[in-house]
Amino acid sequence: MTRNHIALLSAALSLCTVANSQSILGFTSASAAREIEVENKFKSIPNPDEERRQHRIFTQEPHIAGSKRNNELAEYIAEEWKKQGLEDVVIHRYDVYGTNPKSASLEMIAPTHYQALLRETPLPGDDDSKNPAISGAWLGMSISGEVTAPVIYAHSGNPEDYDLLRKNGISVKGKVVLVRYSNPYSYRGFKALTAQREGAAAMLVYSDPQEDGYKKGKVDPDGPWGPEYHIQRGAITYDFMVPGDPQTPGWASIPGAKRIPIEEAVSAPKIMALPLSWHDAKPLLENMDGPVAPTNWQGEDWQGGLPFDYHLGGDRVKAHLKIEMDNGLQPYYVVEGRIRGSELPDEWVVMGNHRDAWVFGGVDPSSGTASMMELTRALGELKKQGMRPRRTLIVCSWDGEEVGLTGSTEWGEQFADDLRAKAVAYINVDEATSGPNFHGQAVASLAPMLEETTRSLQDPSGKTLYDAWKETIEREKKEGAQSSQFSDSGVASETLADTRIGSGSDHTVFLNFIGMPVLGLGFDGDYGVYHSAYDDFYWMNHFGDPGYKYHTLMSQLWGVTALRLANADLLAFDFATYASNIRQFVNELTRANERNMWGQPPSAVRPSEARQPQLDAKAILSAIDDFEAEGKRLNEALARRLSSGPLDPRLAAALNRGMMEVERNWLNPDGIPGRPWFKHILYGARFTYAHLELPGLTEAVEKQDWNTAKQQAEILERALHNNTKLLDELNQQLQP
Ligand SMILES: [Zn+2]
């Protein structure tokens, strides 16, 4: 072929792609046409009135994990799914170490007396806020106890905050520390562990108006931000060590399972902790003595939104705190339903949302639960009309997510072998919507597929969801340039999907323990009532999604994404994209390592080590190049094969099986050092829940533990080689 021929041919090919708007990654053109028909039918079913009706059912009453109401809702979902046409609907029971509040009291006894309310007052116009079943202030997994001690302000409660206190000669041993939720954000369980390690007797954590209250804008009931009395409940479980039931780390809590003593459970906190509204934190902060809190300590402003100077504290403010918890075994219920695949019933696309809420769960999670009920109704409808997916769709309603990702973890542990053999991917929706801004997460190999899917959906703004998403990301990048908050979201500038996946929701067991590719979908916006009683039906109907349009769009997006995975001829994994993401992760680590080495004072660096970073990434980078080259070859070969008409089913099955293996190969059975449950070597989470790429290697480099770093680098290299070999075998099968 001459150069001219090639030019003509590629012009013709690109015309084809333009003319054929029905092309979908992973589908032959005939199957794509059929798929679009199925998707159009599917998208026409979810509607805002039904979303709202379901949302009302789930937000009618508080439904914390383990409560009667939450268990009734499990029964309700199971019954609805059967009516909708789902198959094999079952309710799984897990007996887990759960947590319930009995009583809590906090009083300031010096310099004046103040009895903390520890309750949320009703809001005018919001009748649900008068519900007597609303709990008081409590944190899941706090221990019981009683203490009378001085109160110290420890800012965000992160380790560096205690360094500043030490510099000022302030010890928190045996004292009560008062910390803020955000600024910067870290998971409250990490704050609790840090306070426990510092020897504090108890931790109080409050919502400063600077972060989610009146300093941000109008507060509920007039706006979306948190009012004076809102209390952010939550668990403090150390699930960054191992999620799920603390007494069954790594195996399922099916009734009768072996259990370790709670004293030996690494994820069970050993400290008292209580959340406060700013109304209750104010008298403590206002009366503190000691040095004035700095406005800039390592870039952080310790002053807050209340109208007085914050102090670090000394002996002046004393408090008496008493917490009684009822922590012990209780049943959690996971509801599972499926639509069996017509052609490949043993390849599974799994979806899930948690059901349990701190109170009503307007956004978290009932917006997701309502979307899930419309998703399943529409899938059932398709099945009734004879449109059964090729692969099996499994949907789960998780329990106890809020306590320690418990239901999904136990279910994942119970079915780990099946999932490793059969699962294509897991799609998580926790909070479906708190506003109009879409954020999609995906392991890097599924990022292109997710982005393509959003092109076929309509955002309420009139744009495609893809264009709306792009605008959101561009706006955040601009804002991020100022605040640097989002500067590390997304890898390549053209990528919209967030391919840096931390923990904090039900995808964790599937990615980190089982080795399944995961996706996470959600819309967000201004939202200051998280985990409070005000996160309810009123809030959603006034601020979050008054027309339930985003709920509807979420049902559509969730379903279309699942249908594409379930119906694809050849699964649309893009391993070349995976490779370029891994390269970026490695390059970032190398740069951080060099900065660390160079940033050290000369005296700390021995002459032989000077300017010699100890992480040599050459071998890894070359293994990534090989993996990328095979990934590109595979992308091209798959596209060629798909464009040349019907596929040999046996070849398709072999290719799909092979591609499903790639994610499993990123697991190291021993786990990452110190956290054996977390087995994925590319994705992990910091103790704060923040994403942590190359977790084992990164933590070793940060500790300058070069032996471990070397081992971890070899594990990564080996996995890259294995996956390169696997892709090479697939490429050979595709040779004409
Ligand atoms: Zn949630």
DSSP letters along 10-61, please? HHHHHHHHHH-TT--TT--HHHHHHHHHHHHHHHTS--HHHHHHHHHHHHSS
Q: What's the gap in Å between 356 CA and the centre of ligand 1?
A: 8
d(CA 549, CA 406): 31
Q: What's the gap in Å between 241 CA and the centre of ligand 1?
A: 19
Q: How confident is the model at residue 3 (pLDDT cuts 50, 70, 90)?
A: very low
Q: What's the gap in Å between 69 CA and the centre of ligand 1?
A: 17
Q: What's the gap in Å between 497 CA and the centre of ligand 1?
A: 20
d(CA 206, CA 10): 61
Structure tokens at 479: 């804002």
Structure tokens at 166: 């030490």
Q: What's the gap in Å between 732 CA and the centre of ligand 1?
A: 44
Q: What's the gap in Å between 354 CA and the centre of ligand 1?
A: 7
E-assigned strands of 409-460?
Answer: 423-428, 437-442
d(CA 90, CA 191): 38
- Residues pairing with 335 in the sheet: 91, 397
Could you tell me the CA-to-CA distances from 49 to 354, 438, 547, 551 in Å, in that order? 22, 21, 9, 10
Q: For every residue of 316-368, which 3-state class applies, written as one string?
A: CCEEEEEEEEEEEEEEEEEEEEEECCCCEEEEEEEEEEECCCCCCCCCCCHHH
Contact by Cβ (8 Å): 376, 78: no
Nearest Cα to Cα of residue 613 among 635, 629, 593: 593
Q: What is the CA radius of gyration of the chain?
A: 26
Q: For every residue of 674-691, which 3-state class applies, written as one string?
A: CECCCCECCEEECCCCCE
State the pLDDT at residue 9: 41
Q: In which residue are the tokens 């021993």 written?
A: 670
Specify the pTM: 0.94
pLDDT at 483 over 90: no
d(CA 43, CA 143): 48
Q: What's the gap in Å between 353 CA and the centre of ligand 1?
A: 8
Q: What's the gap in Å between 403 CA and the centre of ligand 1?
A: 10
Instruction: Map residue 537 onto helix, strand or coil.
Output: helix
Nearest Cα to Cα of residue 235 among 193, 285, 291: 193
Q: What's the gap in Å between 365 CA and the centre of ligand 1?
A: 5
Contact by Cβ (8 Å): 65, 400: yes
User: What is the arithmetic mean of pLDDT over 97-111?
Assistant: 96
Q: What's the gap in Å between 479 CA and the centre of ligand 1?
A: 26
Structure tokens at 263: 């004293």
Instruction: Map residue 77 onto helix, strand or coil.
Output: helix
pLDDT at 539 over 70: yes
Structure tokens at 717: 């290299």
Q: What's the gap in Å between 402 CA and the centre of ligand 1?
A: 6
User: What is the arithmetic mean of pLDDT over 701-717?
Assistant: 95
Q: What's the gap in Å between 660 CA and the centre of ligand 1?
A: 28
Q: How confident is the model at residue 259 (pLDDT cuts 50, 70, 90)?
A: very high
User: What is the arithmetic mean of pLDDT over 451-478?
Assistant: 96
- Residues pairing with 93 in the sheet: 333
Q: What's the gap in Å between 313 CA and the centre of ligand 1?
A: 34
pLDDT at 165 over 60: yes
Q: What's the gap in Å between 451 CA and the centre of ligand 1?
A: 24
State the pLDDT at residue 495: 86
Nearest Cα to Cα of residue 146 among 201, 195, 99: 201
DSSP string computed for 521-584: EEEE-----TTSTTSSHHHIIIII-TT-HHHHHHHHHHHHHHHHHHH-SS----HHHHHHHHHH
Q: What's the gap in Å between 494 CA and the centre of ligand 1?
A: 29
Q: What's the gap in Å between 592 CA and the centre of ligand 1?
A: 33
pLDDT > 70: percent of the chain: 93
The packing angle between helices 618-643 and 575-599, to 10°, is 160
User: What is the arithmetic mean of pLDDT over 545-563?
Assistant: 98
State the pLDDT at residue 597: 61
Residue with the larger pLDDT of the pair 132 and 5? 132
As a whole number, the mean pLDDT across the chain is: 93
Q: What's the gap in Å between 86 CA and the centre of ligand 1?
A: 24
Q: What's the gap in Å between 566 CA and the centre of ligand 1?
A: 26
Nearest Cα to Cα of residue 505 among 517, 520, 490, 523: 520
Structure tokens at 544: 């979050």
Q: What's the gap in Å between 352 CA and the centre of ligand 1?
A: 11
What is the DSSP code (8-state) at residue 514?
A: I
pLDDT at 4 over 90: no
pLDDT at 123 over 60: yes
Instruction: Map residue 445 onto helix, strand or coil.
Output: helix
What is the DSSP code (8-state) at residue 91?
A: E
pLDDT at 486 over 60: no
pLDDT at 404 over 50: yes
Cα maximum dimension of the chain: 91
User: What is the arithmetic mean of pLDDT over 620-626?
Assistant: 98
What is the DSSP code (8-state) at residue 291?
A: S
Q: What's the gap in Å between 51 CA and the centre of ligand 1?
A: 18
State the pLDDT at residue 115: 98
Nearest Cα to Cα of residue 454 among 377, 368, 549, 553: 553
Q: In which residue are the tokens 């992160």 written?
A: 158
Whether the ω angle into residue 111 lies within 30 degrees of 0, i.e. cis, is yes
Least confident of 495-504, 590-599, 725-734: 590-599
Q: What's the gap in Å between 735 CA and the centre of ligand 1?
A: 46
- Residues pairing with 327 in the sheet: 99
Q: What's the gap in Å between 633 CA and the centre of ligand 1?
A: 40
